[in-house]
Amino acid sequence: MPDDAFDGQTILLTGGTGSFGQHFARWVLTECRPTAVRIFSRDELKQSEMARVIDDPRLRFLLGDVRDRDRLRRAVEGVDLVIHAAALKQVPACEYNPFEAVRTNILGTQNVAEACLEAGVRRAVALSTDKAVSPANLYGATKLCAEKLFVQSNVYASGHDTRYSCVRYGNVVGSRGSVVPLFRDQRTQGQLTVTDRRMTRFWITLDQAVRFVARSAVEMRGGEIFVPKIPSTRILDLAEAVAPGVPVRYTGIRPGEKLHESLITGEESRRTVDAGWCYVVEPEHAFWEERRIAHATPVAEDFLYTSDQNTEWLDVEGLRRLLDGSAMTREAPTAAVV
């Protein structure tokens, strides 16, 4: 990624007080030279806490909700890049409050896309998740819909400079709501809870996720879904890495939970290319014909990118290094560097 990729740009982060937003803001203000970074979120307390932690005059805070289209229109005025990270993502909460999940994750994404087009924002990147692939719960279904909204927004942008793409990755190590903080709390109680011993998951560090999104924003042409090459781990190995020797109690798979997760399906493999630093799922539509990813090769027709069939794995020792922070790199994430 060029060192001057974000020089002189104004960047807006929806959901900017979340784990990703805070880390991205800190990284881009330290490593790059943007004109301003706007944090758009609805929690004034989190904004004030973030302002104390990141003391930089280029950081701007805008109170608002992605459900509010008028507020979004004002927020994106003069913005060069929008990173859409706002979402309701707790699976049980989305199941219990389905209307709210739809309003934020689907209608909110539509509002972001429309506001970007109206304001002439050149690039917009939406953050997605492995839960959007063959979704087994409402959260995943709303994120799948959000992906399709962002990809297809390029049709509405025909004749305009605005382009939309998505980034799809797996579980973020140590982020709020992940299993790592839960295991750390449970080890003091002398017992961990695991739903199923066979479970596997994709893992990416927060630092890797931030740098991957940044590079995707630079490389995008519009319509792509960028998927990082990241390792898998067995849930029991993760439990041993966090709490060695602590007994495990099995509780059974919860509604909407999968044994293994997928980042690219067999159906998507027909339009997926390997760009070296990542996989790219290309859109199936005519607007894509003139914007092929350079130096990328198609994957095999039977290619599957699932957590149980991954070629790269983190063992217990590798997980401990990752959790200690020693495995975080300054490059786009690949399985070889974690």
> What would the two tokens of residue 37 be?
């970074």
Write down the pLDDT at residue 289. Answer: 65
Write down the pLDDT at residue 52. Answer: 97
334 pLDDT above the threshold of 50: no
CB 212 within 8 A of CB 278: yes
Q: How confident is the model at residue 338 (pLDDT cuts 50, 70, 90)?
A: very low
The 3 state secondary structure assigned to 184-232 is HHHHCCCCEEECCCCCEEEEECHHHHHHHHHHHHHHCCCCCEEEECCCE
For residue range 80-108, list pLDDT tens digits in order. Answer: 999 999 999 999 899 999 999 999 999 99
For residue range 20-38, list pLDDT tens digits in order. Answer: 999 999 999 999 999 999 9
> For residues 167 and 186, what is the distance between their CA atoms, to the nearest angstrom?
32
299 pLDDT above the threshold of 60: yes
> For residues 307 and 258, what is the distance between their CA atoms, to the nearest angstrom?
11
The answer to which of 20-34, 36-50, 56-70, 313-327 has the lowest mean pLDDT is 313-327
Write down the pLDDT at residue 330. Answer: 34
CB 40 within 8 A of CB 13: yes
Write down the pLDDT at residue 328. Answer: 40
User: Mean of the pLDDT values across residues 293-318?
Assistant: 92
Active site residues: 131
Q: What angle do CA 249, 252, 256 make, to 5 degrees?
A: 135
Write down the pLDDT at residue 303. Answer: 94
Domains in the chain, start-ordered, CATH in brackets?
10-337 (3.40.50.720)
User: Mean of the pLDDT values across residues 278-292?
Assistant: 78
Mean pLDDT of the chain: 91
* CA proximity to 194, closest of 136, 233, 231, 229: 233
The pTM for the full model equals 0.93
Q: How confident is the model at residue 290 (pLDDT cuts 50, 70, 90)?
A: low
> For residues 338 and 327, what is the distance between their CA atoms, to the nearest angstrom?
5
For residue range 111-142, list pLDDT tens digits in order. Answer: 999 999 999 999 999 999 999 999 999 999 99
For residue range 194-253, list pLDDT tens digits in order. Answer: 999 999 999 999 999 999 999 999 999 999 999 999 999 999 999 999 999 999 999 999
Q: How confident is the model at residue 174 (pLDDT cuts 50, 70, 90)?
A: low
